[in-house]
Amino acid sequence: MRFQIDNEYDTLEAVLVHRPGNEIDRLTHENMQRFLFEDVPFLKRLQEEHDAFTGMMRDRGIEVVYLEQLLLDVLRDEGSRREVVDEVCRTAMVPAIADDLMDLKRWSAEELVDVLFAGLTADEYRARTGERVSSSGDEDVFLLAPAPNAYFSRDPAVVVGGGVISSKMHYRERVRESVLVRAVLERHAEYRDNPITYGGTDKPSEDRPYTIEGGDVIILSKDAVLVGASERTRSETIELLAKKCFQVGRVKRVYEIPIPTERAFMHLDTVFTVVDRGLILWYSEVMEKVERIHRYEAGEAGEAGEAGGEVVARRVKEERGFVDVLRDEFGCDVTVVETAGGRKQFASREQRTDGTNALAIGPKLVCTYERNERTIAALGEHGVTCVEIGDSELVRGLGGPRCMTMPLRRGAGGG
């Protein structure tokens, strides 16, 4: 499959997701905040809602591929299994169990996939290996923690143009997600020919010293990308990302958009999304206050040996306001739809339930949680069709339809 994402709104053709699994049942009211949840979801209903969401996309002709199935393909190769398990155990700081996890006489490839998402307790490890490894005597302690946020597949990686940004996650509890997604992107026979523009394993010290997450990356066109400087994405990373994009000719302009570094606004796409060319949805309490925008453009650092001048990212303070930037990049007037229609009493509530985190599956066609009634009504007033999905359990992880998808390909036409 060839990846290609040139904007946020052309017809969605292929998307990567992760169906919530046993990792969700690892959550308790004692550990849920550690794993970035506000409540403990009911797994069966969570899966039903996720299945309805992916079924809706398939019914509309969108190819839906599952991270866990692709990872299973990768882990059936012995060399890949060893390298993936080694990296997972190193990043989780449990290298002592790596050799045992690589042993398919103890763990089938299917069981290993489950372990990489659901984690492993000391008791489960002892049952398989006969070894007692918990120094505290607590057999329920995690040797390998679960990854319950994995169904938010937007954050570990994002396609920009025909290349991929592999994220470095802000919280340790989410690092494994980017490791597993990158393993698929680099090793799966169907996907490994798509170049990784930023964050690949070939130059990790150069590309990945700072944090960045996919929810902060919004693609305006073939030429321009917005990146939120947020709780999860650092300004230093945005400059490095811009440099890498310019070096391979991926885009011409990268805009750094500062938003409050608060959990309620964890990523740019929780307060701003694109519905169609020139049509945006935003949470005005944050977006109307955006200032200190910076623009990165390609420059040259001077001569660098026989290769000539090195391409760098020149940081320029943006004199235009945010809407003016959008107007110029879209090449048309901009219409702003406010979360909950701008009614402050409801806008804060619907922002927290991911009303702004709409997934465009085509021009003026978005998917959103059914509970965000006033945002849906406001979008409808501007000719936008909303496909509503059930959300009683999905919403508990603080992420919406956009968060749950990694678009791989959109149809050409609007970029």
Q: What is the rounded (10 degree) CA torsion for 164, 169, 170, 171?
A: 160
Instruction: Collect all residues with Cβ–Cβ distance below 8 Å to 244 and sequence separation of at least 6.
Output: 197, 198, 207, 250
Spatial contact of 371 and 123, defined as CB atoms under 8 Å apart: no
Closest alpha carbon to 293 in 314, 270, 271, 322 = 322
Spatial contact of 122 and 143, defined as CB atoms under 8 Å apart: yes
Adjacent-strand bridge partners of 368: 388
β-strands 120-121, 309-317 pairing: unpaired
Instruction: Collect all residues with Cβ–Cβ distance below 8 Å to 79 and sequence separation of at least 6.
Output: none
Select which of 245, 367, 386, 403 is catalytic.
403
Q: How far apart are CA 242 and CA 252, in angstroms?
A: 9
Q: Please give the helix or strand (H or E) that residue 410 lies within, else none.
A: strand 406-410
Spatial contact of 17 and 404, defined as CB atoms under 8 Å apart: yes
Closest alpha carbon to 173 in 101, 92, 269, 118 = 92
Distances (CA, A) of 137 to 121, 141, 145, 166, 260: 12, 9, 17, 38, 42
Q: Please give, one letter per residue, the 3-state secondary structure of 243-296.
A: HHHHHCCCCCEEEEEECCCCHHHCCHHHCEEEEECCEEEECHHHHCCCCCCEEE
Q: How far apart are CA 187 and CA 181, in angstroms?
A: 10
Q: Please give the helix or strand (H or E) that residue 337 lies within, else none.
A: strand 335-338
Q: How far apart are CA 118 and CA 212, in angstroms?
A: 24
89 is catalytic: no
Adjacent-strand bridge partners of 120: 144
Residue type, 98: A
As annotated, the active-site residues are: 403
